Chain A
């Protein structure tokens, strides 16, 4: 087996784990392997996957974005407030996503221009933005979003049976795959994450790359927020709490290195599916939610430990 074949196999690792897990569940739970349930899982996964796509770029840079859950909540609150005041749903949704992008851009500016470690910078904005979403919503869920367009974002179907969020997830997957694989921007992200100094010396505007990556991460979190708000038919100021950890877990499970420079978006999709299928399967098997958390944690740790062992 030559080096390249080994590398390909290693990349496919998470995918194989996914297949094994799915096969295990198909045997133990008769409700698992049905078209209805698989579409159900994909729809549940879409929110985490969208956030995780943005997070993949952030982690490829060697950074981290803890503020995604708060961005999701604040942009949802902004959009819901507009909707409940009768603003056109297309406008309200666009403004919500742009607001999320703006919040991400602020992260990028603090990190690149302010030279603050990403962990600290986004920890700060996470707290600020969560506070703001409580301020704007007065701590209560915002309801009364009477809009068919908006309801369709989270609850609609394409061709009668494929949920809209699943389509959105697949489209964004294709976009991110193309950007990372085929564009100059994508190559620069890998370069900056691999060795920032070398990247800067070879003429890459590293600050600009960072700002764009965090902006994208914010926009993706906001997009996920639109779907969530549509599904709940209300914006919750506490929505998205802990979602940053699920997104990071999906990225890491997918084989992207937390030290930056190495990883791919397909892995992230698989990682998100692994977490989603684990949640769904454990529910179908009637496992207590307390044990569910233990099992999820163990699986994440095992994945990372085995990955480490392989790289030695």
Chain B
């Protein structure tokens, strides 16, 4: 009999463990067959919780779901696209009404997003878009606005005139395109402002350094630099420091911990910060609207912040 008992025990223990975890905060979920009238159930398929950016996104969604009385079921892909697909399949079986997806890989999730839509579930992409399948809305940082914000700050700092430099991210990438577009919307056509150099440094710190060194060979009187990300901005600062130039205004993008430190130390003038918690919060708000059958915009830009001294 012992031999039959032990597997039974394993099974019971497994079920017991599941039952234990049901006392956790997000567990009233378990017993309801489908959403109770008026109560929305939303799945959040997140790419990873090993990165503070996405943890903040999840926290923002969690807090808003609690405030609004929405059942939020979070599944974590641990950066594995295959796991993310399984997770979303499970959410489809769970019959949630809306899935908020933060793709681990934009291409790989297209198939399962189509499956969800076919099952009558509204899908909203967060931060990263979905390639190859239609979603109800895409919520991400407003990179164009961020570029404008950086340009306006740079103008103000240099008094609206002088030579400026733009370090571009990987050409063709959406971040580089949009950040550049916002920046040019402000600086183009200003009589006293001259863009003496615009070169790609591929979001890379070492390339930011060498590209800036080359630029400084030809232009000693650079007043300001806008880099499409912090890595390039930090590289550019090294070049400026080595060239012995003072009071050059360098503005970066992303507010990485390194860059925030550099801003505090007075090396970078500012960096544009994304607001991941706000992306999560707006995701849940959009899910609520979709649940009520209201129309939502295809692209919902999330405002940014400027970190300065």
Contacts and interface: CB of A to CB of B under 8 A. Distances in A.
A143 B8 contact: no
A24 B10 CA distance: 12
B15 A286 contact: no
Interface in A1-47: 6, 9-10, 12-21, 23-25, 28-31, 34, 36-37, 40, 43-44, 47
Interface of B: 2-4, 6-15, 17-19, 21-22, 24, 26-27, 29-33, 49, 73-76, 78-82, 85-87, 89-95, 105, 107-108, 110-111, 131-132
B111 A288 contact: no
Contacts of B90: 40, 279-280, 283-284
A231 B11 contact: no
Given A278-B14, A288-B26, A16 B8 contact: yes
Contact of B14 (A21, A228, A291): A21
B85 A231 contact: yes
A285 interface: yes
Per DSSP, chain A at the interface is helix
Contacts of A128: none
Given A20-B7, A236-B108, A284-B94, A28 B81 contact: no
B107 A295 contact: no
A231 B82 contact: yes
Contacts of A202: none
A179 B246 CA distance: 76
Nearest to B92: A40
B30 A29 contact: yes
A37 B82 contact: no
23 contacts: A9-B4, A13-B4, A17-B14, A24-B11, A28-B31, A31-B95, A44-B86, A141-B105, A141-B108, A143-B107, A155-B111, A231-B82, A233-B132, A234-B108, A242-B80, A283-B91, A284-B90, A285-B21, A286-B26, A286-B30, A287-B21, A287-B22, A302-B10
B204 to A, nearest CB: 14
Q: Which of A155, A283, A284 has the most CB of B within 10 A?
A: A283
B171 to A, nearest CB: 16
A246 to B, nearest CB: 11
Contact of B6 (A13, A29, A37, A282): A13
A118 to B, nearest CB: 26
A23 to B, nearest CB: 8
Contacts, number: 175
B89 A40 contact: yes
Interface residues of A, number: 63
Given A31-B94, A232-B105, A289-B76, A283 B87 contact: yes
Interface of A: 6, 9-10, 12-21, 23-25, 28-31, 34, 36-37, 40, 43-44, 47, 141, 143, 155, 228, 231-234, 236, 238-239, 241-242, 278-291, 295, 298-299, 302-303, 306-307, 309-310
B170 to A, nearest CB: 12
Q: Which 5 pairs between the two chains have the least Cβ-Cβ distance?
A: A20-B11, A24-B15, A289-B76, A283-B90, A17-B7
Contacts of A284: 90, 93-94
B22 to A, nearest CB: 7
Contacts of B14: 17, 20-21, 24, 278, 295, 299
A237 B116 CA distance: 26
A285 B81 contact: no
A283 B10 CA distance: 20
B30 A28 contact: yes
Given A21-B14, A25-B15, A231-B111, A286 B73 contact: yes
A283 B108 CA distance: 20
Contact of A232 (B18, B29, B74, B82): B82
A278 B8 CA distance: 15
Q: Which of B14, B21, B24, B92 has the most CB of A within 10 A?
A: B14
Contacts of A9: 3-4
Nearest to B28: A286
A28 B19 contact: yes
B117 to A, nearest CB: 15
Nearest to A141: B105
Nearest to B83: A279
